[in-house]
Amino acid sequence: MKQTNQRAWFFLLPALIIVAINAFIPFMTVINYSFIDKLQGLPSFWIGLENYSSVLQNNNFRQAVGRQFAFSFLVLAIQVPLGILISLGMPKKGIGATATLIAIGLPLLIPWQVVGIIWRAFTRSDLGFVPIIFNQFNYNYDAALNSADAWWTVVIMDVWHWTPLIALLCYSGLNAIPDAYYQAARIDGASRLKTFWVVTLPRLRSVLTIGILLRFMDSFRIYIEPTMVTGGGPGNTTAFMSDVLVRQAQAFNFGPAAAMSLIYFYIILIISYVFFQVLTNAGTGSDQPQEA
């Protein structure tokens, strides 16, 4: 048999250790928890899929999943077109380009907690400027009592925070489109809208794929901002999946919490996979993923 050199393992070892501590061990622990009943001070025992079925029957959880899908869909539906529009309007060169880039990128630099605090300050019914403005139009805005107000506040906060990411990605994508494409479209007599559909959008495909995936995963995992602004309320109306999950874990229901987080994980995984497949093949008229 051929002699092989095993020394390469030493080079892999640091990475393997980090991945083990960082991902593999916690992940296996969670999988383990999801199949056992663990009560403090008592021996744990195997209960099969009982945790999963109890989680799936949990009304709180089911509502949170529905809410989560609605939220992610809504913010993507707003952020993607808005981000593209903003990037189309951004100046391409000169001092204006730099200034716009900084202004647009600013929200991305703010930590999540701070975003939450800022928006809580904005929307407080006693001293925020948002209620004051709404009061001018005889609308009694109150995110703490009115669930519709709370919802829109969270959505708009996310749009404010993350649309810049889509805009910046699209901006870089736009700058990479050679002028000849636009010139050819002009010579072929294409309208501006047509040019956008046949030249711009297809050429933004790869940056949009990244942008949509990132935004989907992040919006699906949203936790800190709504917790800071609305605390999941009024009632449970802005309690998203992370919120429900954290409450389970804080109540030491490790088994159901583990099952919940795994279901949560698989939802993100499956949807991201589907998104990726759809986006890489959209408009290519083939079933093979396309080379970048």
Partner 1 sequence: MATIELVDVAHSYDGGKSYAVQDINLTWNDGVASALLGPSGCGKTTLLKIISGLLKPSDGKVLLDGEDVTALSPRERNVAQVFQFPVVYETLNVYNNLAFPLRNRKVPEDEIDERVTRVAEILELTPHLKRRAARLGAAEKQRISMGRGIVRADTTAVLFDEPLTVIDPHQKWHLRRKLKELHKELGLTMIYVTHDQQEALTFAEQVTVMNMGEALQTGKPQDLHHRPEAPFVGYFIGSPGMNLFDATPEAQGVRVGDYIVPLSQVPQGDNLQLGIRPEYVEASMDAHDGWLEARVNRASLTGNALMAEVSGAGLNFKVIVPENSPLRSGDTLYVRFPEENTMLYQHGKLATMEAAA
Question: What gap in Å lies between CA 83 and CA 167, rounded to an integer?
Answer: 4
Shortest distance (Å) from residue 167 CB to partner 1: 23
To the nearest 10°, report the CA torsion of 56, 57, 60, 62. Answer: 50
Q: What one-character DSSP code corresponds to residue 286?
A: S
Shortest distance (Å) from residue 186 CB to partner 1: 5
Assess contact for 200 and 154: CB atoms under 8 A. no
Burial environment of residue 163 by CB neighbours within 10 A (0 to 12, 13 to 18, 19 or more): buried
Shortest distance (Å) from residue 203 CB to partner 1: 8
Residues that bind partner 1 (CB under 8 A): 178, 180-181, 183-184, 186-191, 194, 198-199, 202-203, 283-286, 290
Shortest distance (Å) from residue 279 CB to partner 1: 13
Q: Which is nearer to partner 1, 43 or 189 (CB)?
A: 189
Q: Which is nearer to partner 1, 125 or 195 (CB)?
A: 195
Question: What gap in Å lies between CA 10 and CA 7, rounded to an integer?
Answer: 6
Q: Which is nearer to partner 1, 109 or 180 (CB)?
A: 180
Shortest distance (Å) from residue 181 CB to partner 1: 6
Q: Which is nearer to partner 1, 126 or 291 (CB)?
A: 291
Which residues fall within 8 angstroms of residue 107, CB to CB, at 6 or more apart? 115, 160, 161, 162, 164
Q: Which is nearer to partner 1, 5 or 191 (CB)?
A: 191
Question: What gap in Å lies between CA 250 and CA 19, rounded to an integer?
Answer: 26
